[in-house]
Amino acid sequence: MIDPYYVSLANQASGSALAALHYGYPIAVFVYYLVSSAVAVCTLQTKSADEGHKRQNVIKWLFLFSVLTFLVQLLALILQGVAQRRFPLEQDLTIGLLSCILVFGVEFAGLSDSPNPVWYPFVGSLALALVFEPIVCVLSLTAVPSESLSFVELFVTSTAAARCLAFALAFALYFEGGWTAQKERGTDSERQSLLKPGENDTSDANKQPSDEEAGEQQQNGYGTTETSEDESADANKTASTERVESPWERREREAREQMEKRLKEKGNWFTYARSFMIFFPYIWPVNNRPLQIRVGLVALCLLTMNFVNLLIPRQMGILLDSLSGANGENAWVQVLLFGGLKLVASEAGLSLLRQWLWIPVEYYSYDAISTAAYSHVLNLSSDFHDSKSSSDIMMAINSGQSISNMLDSICFRAIPMIIDMIVAFIYLSVMFGPYEGFITIATSVIFMYIATSMIARLRLARKGEVSAWFEEHYVRQAGIQGWTTVACFNQTEYEERRYSKAVRNRVTKSQTVQLGYILSYAFQFLVLLSGLLAGAHLAVYQVLGGQATPGQFMVLLTYWAQLVAPLNFFAGLGRSVSRDLIGAEQLLDIMQTKPSITDKEGAPPLRFSGGHVSFENVCFSYDKKKEILKNVSFTATPGMTMAFVGATGAGKSTILKLLDRFYDATEGAIYIDGQDIRDVSLSSLRNQIGVVPQAPVLFDDTVMNNVRYAKLDATDDEVYEACKAASIHEQILGFADGYQTRVGERGVKLSGGELQRVAIARAILKRPAIVLLDEATSAVDTETEHKIQEALRRLCEGRTTFIVAHRLSTIMNADRIMVVTGGELVEQGSHEELIQANGKYAELWSKQIFVKPQDKQDSADGKPISKARKAVNIVNDLPSETAKLELAKVKSKQIRIKASESDASGSEDSSGSEDSEDSTDTLVTPGHKKEV
């Protein structure tokens, strides 16, 4: 016979094991589910899970079934307790059942929400359940002698057994579904059409965007007419496909794509986050001990704050109990202590100290990130600046703030709040027992779940609102910026209608979003209130039963109030971190871009000795697809003026850009005084070169400062001299504030000619050794041009000069003229030589020279000048004497060519393919490549 002592010992042991299992089972499943889900997110498996599981629906309902069985068990337990007047119910069993309802309920919601979830958190939970459930079942049965098993116990055991079966079935279905899917994939691939999906699916091809998408996408661009509401519904369907992405959407899309691409490359969030370490020296004050100490003290403040947050509710309870005499404490002392704690926790206490300590650290990081990003951008090369819009770059530099925001959210808010919540949970569990702890956790979990899913649901509406907001902004800005165009075309009413439509659209969307948020907050509040009521009822029950004091009840209420802020914060944390991450990503993208034009290590400065420039077989392309320059070779001796002419887009300006090293030649080399420009330091090279660009850009500053930009230490007199040389001095003196007149953004307050002359003055002030003039006089009238020519002559005197010009009259005196066609040098020589050669240059020249005398005659006769002639006349601005002379040259040349052609054909007839004697007329220029 078994000793009853041992039986009771065994019963006790199995009872404690059962109690431990009741708590341990849901905890194990929940922790596993949380950790594995976090791992899935961090290792990007949520992104790769792109195919739904065949049996997902059945498995989902099996999860719901299990939740219901827990609920039935709980109800049975309560009914049994009522029937047997056995209160309180077994705590471990009740908490265990409640926790299981919560845990499996969350998993059921997870399966319902996601069409293609990552499965191992669910499958692992099922496996754990299959381990725990039978043990709990067996232990529960052994705890009760078989002869005294009541109907309720039998019912509960059968429910548990049914749940076990459901779990096993779900587990098996998961593997069965995966296996069949694999099999089907195998056979499917053999049966698949050779056409890509969609190619043979006309229904898909004709698929229209949803009304909401179409509504969001429809925009009324310039050149479209207003449509009625009904028409617009139809128009949406076709117009939506042509809709142009707003700059904001493009920026966000690009940053998100970049982030996803980088995430994929890195493989998981941890290595991805490591790429942000590039910002570490800008956030952590590496070499600044006092700032480091401040950071340490801030961390200390945060920990103290956690502690004080715990003490305040406790002190409140003690104070209340001291008032009712429940604890025998002196109420005056307690109220003083309470006041002291409140002061420490207030904005005038620890918070003040923390912010005071943090301000220099925050500004250090702002200072460091902004200046580093700005300097990095300025040092990037032309290819980068050409490929990005300036507003994108500026937005990215401003994104430095996002990194500080992200750190602030995570370090100073999220971590302390997590600590606060854990402490609250433990404290309430200890003070009021595990029921109260469970209520806290359950409320937090349900609140977070509801809040995050509501935010996710509002995302689309919010996106629509932001797009509408940008649209409104864009329409307003375009109307105001393009006011002149609006006024000229008398479209004020059209713009007003356009704007009012944009505003209405935005207001409607904002109202929807706002309503969504209000409802969402109301719902979240209800969840919190339910938790509070449940917790308060439990606490009242305990206070009335004498297990707790009214002071402790007060502690509970205060803690609940303290929990609301962290919960709200966590609900929105994901959204704010993702927004900051996108901003930081844009900056990271820029910071990781390396300049393509850099100094070689230890590159010496350029040793200038006269300005001998030579291009040797230079080839170049901007994008490696289209060759822009092909084997360009020429030499300019010191002091020589070399001009490039040719059709637009031929590559003339590109030659100048290569010389100034805005780009490097893809093949061949450029030498200045025998040194490859890639081997000398960039700054010494640019110091020697002065550029007057095609479209000079001035800063929104005074004329004086704009000219002085070329030589920051130039005196006022030097600036005046330069302006006199550029024939702009008198005009500047005529401005309202003379040299102190502001020129407006990019110099808009100056005329094209004034702008160019200011740019020339700037180049003159720099006194460069090599001068690059890219259409430097294209925007000035003939009279001014003659003045500028004189100024340029002075600027270029003794300096190697390269000129790009369309107006051939401006370069006819150049030492050598190069004709560029399709990126190749097809002719070179002096003006006279090229006219003699009668090639491309002579053709261009004759086009510019021929019209004017005829026009003059027409106008002299009083006949109207034809439109075509007027247009050509613009380029022919030679003085009439010179024009006549040039015309005579070209005409006589043509007559001679014709004569030589007829001679040649005659001699060809008689002497076969021998060259004609008059061959000097057909090709005379030195270095002339192409025979005419």
Ligand X SMILES: Nc1ncnc2c1ncn2[C@@H]1O[C@H](COP(=O)(O)OP(=O)(O)OP(=O)(O)O)[C@@H](O)[C@H]1O
Task: Select from 130, 119, 96 the least CA-distant residue to 17.
Answer: 96
Alpha carbons 681 and 675: distance in angstroms, whole number: 11
By CB under 6 A, the residues from 153 to 182 that bind ligand X are: none
Per-residue binding string, ligand X, 110-129, x by CB under 6 A, is --------------------
Nearest residue (CB) to ligand X, 91 versus 593: 593
- Which amino acid is residue 643, in one-letter code? A
By CB under 6 A, the residues from 488 to 507 that bind ligand X are: none
By CB under 6 A, the residues from 608 to 627 that bind ligand X are: 622-623
742: DSSP letter = B
Q: Of 219-227, 502-510, 642-650, 696-704, which part binds ligand X (CB under 6 A)?
A: 642-650
Q: How many residues bind ligand X (CB under 6 A)?
A: 13
How close are the terminal C-alpha atoms of the chain, in Å? 127
- Taking the complex as a whole, the smallest distance from the CB of residue 839 to ligand X amounts, in Å, to 18
Q: Does 628 bind ligand X (CB under 6 A)?
A: yes
Nearest residue (CB) to ligand X, 366 versus 622: 622
CB-based burial label for 33 (10 Å; 0-12, 13-18, 19+): buried
Nearest residue (CB) to ligand X, 170 versus 677: 677
Per-residue binding string, ligand X, 241-270, x by CB under 6 A, is ------------------------------
Nearest residue (CB) to ligand X, 430 versus 697: 697
- Taking the complex as a whole, the smallest distance from the CB of residue 774 to ligand X amounts, in Å, to 7
Nearest residue (CB) to ligand X, 625 versus 867: 625
What tokens appear for 68 in the block? 């219901």
Nearest residue (CB) to ligand X, 623 versus 931: 623
Helix (H) or strand (E) holding 169: helix 151-191
- Taking the complex as a whole, the smallest distance from the CB of residue 811 to ligand X amounts, in Å, to 13
- Taking the complex as a whole, the smallest distance from the CB of residue 752 to ligand X amounts, in Å, to 15
Nearest residue (CB) to ligand X, 775 versus 833: 775
Q: Does 386 bind ligand X (CB under 6 A)?
A: yes
Nearest residue (CB) to ligand X, 385 versus 856: 385
By CB under 6 A, the residues from 771 to 830 that bind ligand X are: 804
Nearest residue (CB) to ligand X, 276 versus 622: 622
Residue 637: which residues within 8 A CB-CB, separation 6 or more?
612, 800
By CB under 6 A, the residues from 643 to 672 that bind ligand X are: 648-654
DSSP string, 611-677: --EEEEEEEE-SSSSS--EEEEEEEE-TT-EEEEEESTTSSHHHHHHHHTTSS--SEEEEEETTEET
- Taking the complex as a whole, the smallest distance from the CB of residue 383 to ligand X amounts, in Å, to 7
Task: Select from 407, 410, 408, 387 the least CA-distant residue to 589.
Answer: 387
Q: For 114-150, where are the alpha helices, taking DSSP H only?
A: 120-143
Strand partners for 670: 615
Nearest residue (CB) to ligand X, 189 versus 648: 648
Q: Are strands 800-804 and 770-774 parallel, antiparallel or unpaired?
A: parallel
Alpha carbons 560 and 420: distance in angstroms, whole number: 12
- Taking the complex as a whole, the smallest distance from the CB of residue 387 to ligand X amounts, in Å, to 8
Q: Does 605 bind ligand X (CB under 6 A)?
A: no
Strand partners for 646: 820
Provide the sign of the torsion angle of the four alpha carbons 81, 87, 93, 99, taken in this order: positive
Q: Does 567 bind ligand X (CB under 6 A)?
A: no
Alpha carbons 427 and 418: distance in angstroms, whole number: 14
By CB under 6 A, the residues from 846 to 885 that bind ligand X are: none
- Taking the complex as a whole, the smallest distance from the CB of residue 761 to ligand X amounts, in Å, to 22
What tokens appear for 432 in the block? 């009021």
- Which amino acid is residue 230, in one-letter code? D
- Taking the complex as a whole, the smallest distance from the CB of residue 651 to ligand X amounts, in Å, to 4
DSSP string, 749-791: TS-HHHHHHHHHHHHHHH--SEEEEESTTTTS-HHHHHHHHHH
Q: Does 384 bind ligand X (CB under 6 A)?
A: no
Nearest residue (CB) to ligand X, 377 versus 628: 628
By CB under 6 A, the residues from 689 to 728 that bind ligand X are: 694
Q: Would you tell me which residues interact with ligand X (CB under 6 A)? A: 386, 622-623, 628, 648-654, 694, 804
